[in-house]
Structure 1
Amino acid sequence: MSDRNQWGYFAEGTIHLICSSHNDIAWFDTPAATIEWRDQKSITPALERMAENDTVHFSMENVLYLLEYLERHPERKAEINQLVLDKRFDWGATYNQPYESLLSGEQLVRQTYFGRKLVKKLLPGADARVYYSPDIPGRAMQMPQILAKSGIPYMLISRHKPSLQYWYSPDGSKVLSWSMGHYAELRMFGHAFNSTFDKAVDRIQKDLQSWNDEYTQRQIPPHFAYLWSADYIPPHDFDSLIAQWNEMRQTQDAPKLQYSTPEQFLDAINAARPPLEELCGERPNIWLYIHGPTHHRAITAKREAGVLLPAAEMFWTIDALLEKSFAKYPVQAFNRAWTNTIYDDHGWGGNNGHITDEVFRQKLERARDLSEDLLRQSTAAIARRIQPGHGTPIT
């Protein structure tokens, strides 16, 4: 075993063990079957682990999964609310995990509207401050701007070199972005963590040594994180590793090792405002070939709804101002249309993908149809206010 006393820059730091579970809306199976699996194999086991051990933390990647779970288990809302307030259960700040550049600008904004804003409404006192996008190899140019101006300071990505960086939009807005390399990186370090304690210590020490110069030169606070995540997995049990680690720290100066969340890790990094690497602009989605060309009808409906919905909102607002009241403003219809038009995530296809793709298409076409109806209703209401004078009115 290597000399455990040589912890370098991290000797007085903290190692964050982040347990999560990467999910698509489907891909594993149909949306309905995947909702059931996510409940029984990820979220419910996580709640059980957190009830057994008050140091355990867990992270889920978006708000749609919270809505699905509470629909199945409304009796657990108060429990989840308290865990979120205690910073032990972290939910991603967007509605789902989209192909960013497949969405219009306003559709991207609605990801945060039905993400962070909905968390704050649904779970009193709670917040969501991390955008999870660990699977998609693509960034829209405006995404950091939308996140920053929505009060979401952090972005978790992968399929990108292991790094901490500030990712900018052209207007100067930025978010602190973290990549662990690949969200399934546990296949690289997991064998050591699941082996003997000595091998786990050796692996952690080697990883920290490889980051020692970067952290020192950029004056990054000595916090390091491992993301234990893969597709549709339950929470991992690190209790024994942490217990043995705490015993080791009785005899040597080693960093702390603890359960954590991306928000807690990135808060610790961001506290010092370190001079991290800076990136700006778009990362083209190299999976583009899968969707735009091969789901023509569905994506066309999505794009049409992305144009029609803002127009409908504008004309309904004009009608409300003329009416001097928003009492008739169709809030629920707009919410239904918007959530339908951003429902499809990055998980087209997969197991029983013909069913998933049909569900996505129906949602998007329903959004387009609702948008057309809302726009027609608003313009008709405004037109009815016109009182014709002399001559024949043009309709």
Structure 2
Amino acid sequence: MAIEWLTQNTQNNNEKGIWFTWIAAVQNTNEKHKFNVFINDVKRFEFISGNEENRKFNNPDGGILEFTTIELDQHKDAHGYMSLYTPKNWLKKGEPIKIKIVGEASGSNTWIIVYKADDVISYLQNLVKYETWLRAEIKYDGVNSHFNFIAPINYAGKKLESAIGSAKFIIKMKSNGEHAIGDITLKNIDARNLSFTVKDEKSELINLSTLDKDITKQKLLQKSLLINEIKITNEKTEVFCERIFKPHTVTNLLKLSKSNLGKGQLSLMNSSHQDIAWMDSPEKCVIERDTTLLTPLYNKAIEADPSYRFDVEDALMIKEFVQRHPDKKDGIKKLLNEGKISCGATFIQPYEEMYSGESLVRQFYFGKKWLKDEFNYHANVYWNVDVPGRLLQMPQIIKKSGVDYLMISRFEKGIYDWYSPDGSFVTTFSPGHYGDAFMPLHKNVYDAANYLAESSLYWEKYFTSNSDENVIPVLSDWDMSPAVDYSHVINNWESIIEIEDENENKISIELPKFKIQTAEEFLDQFVKSASDIPKIKGERPPVWLYIHGPSHYQALKA
């Protein structure tokens, strides 16, 4: 596998050489694999995989290739940027250079990602300008309060402005060789009950009303996110500050606040896509489904408050579970009828185009009817989020089976009234791909907030006014995943109430509040509040031609 691209035209303004920079990510691994790096079709470097935070590779001609880590993702893989220094004799004035990275084909899945972006330099310049950190340690010796500060080395020789209570100070930062340090002493004052602020030349760093309790707070500035944390021990009070450059997060939150969705609701639907046998044999998948998802889900839901919600895709999953745990059948009935869990209306999630009409009707017979007979539960949503094929008359079959809603994916994002030739329809939700929200919601809380704000704006077209009845779907779904607790994402989102502009003016923002719902609850509310739901009709031809082969045909005949 290889990646290849051309840079911008070189101007050769530097007599010795030119630096190039691009956004990249690398897998952190203990394995050592080579990636050959070619410049204008000449091999210049061997990039070796590993788990070092920062990496540097030198060429005998004076060339340099570096990778710098900015952050780790949920898999502990590194995201940051690569820098390439090309000596003058590698360049042709006025022409681009061609960069190619080639894996050594060693049978490993170790990877490098290069991102396409046209604002890398300006982004990194602003990153250096706005993103920083500061630590403060406060000790009270019974008479005086001592403040000691530590910051990145680039603060050496600079001054920070601070206010402690009503007193104002200038903190002169100096180098200790590795960091910049500074200090303040307040004589005859216990500062632990006072307010505490610190600013640098760009913006504020610390803004705390008191130092007397553990707290974590965040604040949105014009271009960045400010996080302040207090940790108190018997001996000292520690204040941790991180200012993170997140211009897109701030912009998207402001857009959402000003939109017709600002007063509305984020409807979080929590589910898990479960294949009968895609991951392994059917028997092993039953065991994994039980141990990873269903038993932990059952135990959590039984003890949870009435607001708990989870969508189970089909009746087979419930049937397998009660067969393995007959003592929990009454508990499942209780959870279904309390609304803590819901279940899809079919027995499985079929390849619709491979079955006869009678076979598809029997999906609801062994799904919806069985759920009614065994648990007195009315299933009103047909889940089939993975396979892409949809039949022309499937809405008619769904509707005549007493089901109003359809959950699909691998189809254009949106909510539609899908009509059959007889005029019947089902309201259909597609998130695009069923897993689109899962990974972004597992990133750090501020990247999750950016995803929520940006993706929510897509749904504004369904609503003509800003109302608290407007609802935005967020589907958390992934292959064989456990039930996920998103309380940290929700708490972070709902703590965002204002943004401060460059003149330190506070701008109040109103963001939609979270509510955890089943798919049926969300769609009930959406149908009532949306101003215009598009109408569609026809079939969705299957695009998985590699699957729909003789083996599937033989399996259906067997």
Q: Same fold (TM over 0.5)?
A: yes
| Matching residue within 18, 41, 47 for 2:298 | 47
Report how far residue 248 of structure 1 moved.
4.4
Cα gap change, 1:41/1:7 in structure 2, threshold over 3 Å: closer, same or farther? farther
d(CA) in 2 for partners of 1:269 and 1:46? 27
Report how far residue 167 of structure 1 moved.
0.7
Q: Is 1:216 the counterpart of 2:216 in the alignment?
A: no
**1:107 aligned counterpart, secondary structure:** helix
Task: Name the Cα RMSD after superposition.
Answer: 2.5
**1:97 aligned counterpart, secondary structure:** coil
Q: TM-score, normalised by structure 2?
A: 0.50
d(CA) in 1 for partners of 2:413 and 2:471? 14
| Matching residue within 357, 368, 373 for 1:105 | 357
Aligned amino acid, residue 254 of structure 1:
L
1:195 paired residue number: 444
Following superposition of structure 1 onto structure 2, how do residues 49-64 of structure 1 map, counting pairs within 5 Å? 49-54=300-305, 55-64=307-316
2:534 paired residue number: 277
d(CA) in 2 for partners of 1:239 and 1:187? 14
d(CA) in 2 for partners of 1:246 and 1:199? 15
1:78 paired residue number: 330
Following superposition of structure 1 onto structure 2, how do residues 334-353 of structure 1 map, counting pairs within 5 Å? none
d(CA) in 2 for partners of 1:226 and 1:266? 12
Q: Is 1:13 the counterpart of 2:264 in the alignment?
A: yes
Deviation string 1:43-70 (CA, Å, 9 cap, x unpaired) is 1121233244323311111001111100
Report how far residue 213 of structure 1 moved.
3.2
Report how far residue 75 of structure 1 moved.
1.2
2:385 paired residue number: 134
8 Å Cα contact 2:394-2:420 kept in structure 1: yes
Following superposition of structure 1 onto structure 2, how do residues 286-297 of structure 1 map, counting pairs within 5 Å? 286-297=543-554
d(CA) in 2 for partners of 1:249 and 1:147? 43
8 Å Cα contact 1:141-1:170 kept in structure 2: yes
Moved more, 39-48 or 100-109: 39-48
Q: Report the count of equivalent residues.
A: 297
1:232 paired residue number: 480
8 Å Cα contact 1:23-1:232 kept in structure 2: yes
d(CA) in 1 for partners of 2:444 and 2:343? 30
8 Å Cα contact 2:413-2:432 kept in structure 1: yes
2:454 paired residue number: 206
d(CA) in 2 for partners of 1:273 and 1:14? 13
8 Å Cα contact 2:390-2:540 kept in structure 1: yes
Q: TM-score, normalised by structure 1?
A: 0.70
2:513 paired residue number: 256
8 Å Cα contact 2:463-2:529 kept in structure 1: no
1:67 paired residue number: 319
d(CA) in 2 for partners of 1:52 and 1:199? 31
**1:291 aligned counterpart, secondary structure:** coil
Deviation string 1:85-129 (CA, Å, 9 cap, x unpaired) is 1222011100101110111111111111111111111112x2111
8 Å Cα contact 1:13-1:222 kept in structure 2: yes
**1:9 aligned counterpart, secondary structure:** coil
1:356 paired residue number: none
d(CA) in 2 for partners of 1:80 and 1:295? 33
Report how far residue 143 of structure 1 moved.
0.7
Report how far residue 11 of structure 1 moved.
2.1
8 Å Cα contact 2:440-2:447 kept in structure 1: no
Q: Which has the higher strand share?
A: 2
**1:131 aligned counterpart, secondary structure:** strand
8 Å Cα contact 1:7-1:205 kept in structure 2: no
**1:165 aligned counterpart, secondary structure:** strand
| Matching residue within 147, 152, 159 for 2:403 | 152
2:341 paired residue number: 89
1:121 paired residue number: 373
d(CA) in 2 for partners of 1:274 and 1:216? 7
**1:59 aligned counterpart, secondary structure:** strand
Q: Which has the higher helix share?
A: 1
8 Å Cα contact 1:49-1:56 kept in structure 2: no
8 Å Cα contact 2:302-2:335 kept in structure 1: no
Deviation string 1:254-305 (CA, Å, 9 cap, x unpaired) is 3220221111111111224743111111111122452342344333x2xxxx
**2:525 aligned counterpart, secondary structure:** helix
Aligned amino acid, residue 37 of structure 1:
E
d(CA) in 2 for partners of 1:148 and 1:291? 27
8 Å Cα contact 2:268-2:515 kept in structure 1: yes
Cα gap change, 1:89/1:249 in structure 2, threshold over 3 Å: closer, same or farther? farther
d(CA) in 1 for partners of 2:361 and 2:343? 18
d(CA) in 2 for partners of 1:240 and 1:188? 15
Cα gap change, 1:203/1:298 in structure 2, threshold over 3 Å: closer, same or farther? closer
**1:268 aligned counterpart, secondary structure:** helix
Aligned amino acid, residue 516 of structure 2:
Y
Deviation string 1:63-85 (CA, Å, 9 cap, x unpaired) is 01111100001111122212111
Deviation string 1:135-174 (CA, Å, 9 cap, x unpaired) is 1111011110011111110000000111110111111110
1:266 paired residue number: 523
Is the radius of gyration larger for structure 1 or structure 2?
A: 2
2:489 paired residue number: 241
Aligned amino acid, residue 281 of structure 1:
G
Report how far residue 210 of structure 1 moved.
3.2
8 Å Cα contact 1:7-1:209 kept in structure 2: no
1:346 paired residue number: none
Q: Is 1:183 the counterpart of 2:434 in the alignment?
A: yes
Identify unmatched segments of 5+ residues in structure 1: 302-364, 366-395
Report how far residue 247 of structure 1 moved.
4.4
d(CA) in 1 for partners of 2:441 and 2:488? 15
8 Å Cα contact 1:59-1:91 kept in structure 2: yes
